[in-house]
Amino acid sequence: MSPRPIRTLIAGLAMIFALSACALFPNRDPLNINVVGIEPLPSQDLEIRFAVKLRLQNPNDNDIQYDGVALNLDVNGKLLASGVSSQKGTITRFSEGVLTVPVTVSAFAALRQAVGLTEQQRLDNLPYELHGKLAGGLFGTLRFEDSGTLSLP
**Is 86's pLDDT higher than 90?**
yes
* pTM as predicted: 0.70
Q: Per the domain annotation, does 16 fall within a domain?
A: no
Residues 119, 147 contacting (CB under 8 angstroms): no
Q: Does residue 79 fall inside a structural domain?
A: yes
User: Is the confidence at residue 148, as pLDDT, over 70?
Assistant: yes
Burial class (CB in 10 A: 0-12, 13-18, 19+), 38: middle
Nearest to 103 by CA among 118, 84, 77: 84
| Sign for the pseudo-dihedral over CA of 21, 22, 26, 32 | positive
C-alpha span between 34 and 53 (Å, rounded): 8
Answer whether residue 18 is part of any domain: no
Taking 90 as the threshold, does the pLDDT of residue 138 lie above it?
Answer: no
Q: What angle do CA 91, 27, 14 make, to 5 degrees?
A: 130
In a domain, 60, yes or no: yes
Flag whether 9 is in a domain. Answer: no
Report if residue 59 sits inside a domain. yes
Range of the domain at 105: 28-151
Alpha helices in the chain (DSSP H): 3-24, 107-116
**Domain CATH for 110:** 2.60.40.1820
**Integer Cα distance of 55 and 33 in angstroms:** 6
Residue 141 is predicted with a pLDDT of 84
Instruction: Report yes or no on 1 lying in a domain.
Output: no
| More confident site: 42 or 139 | 42
What is the number of domains present in the chain?
Answer: 1
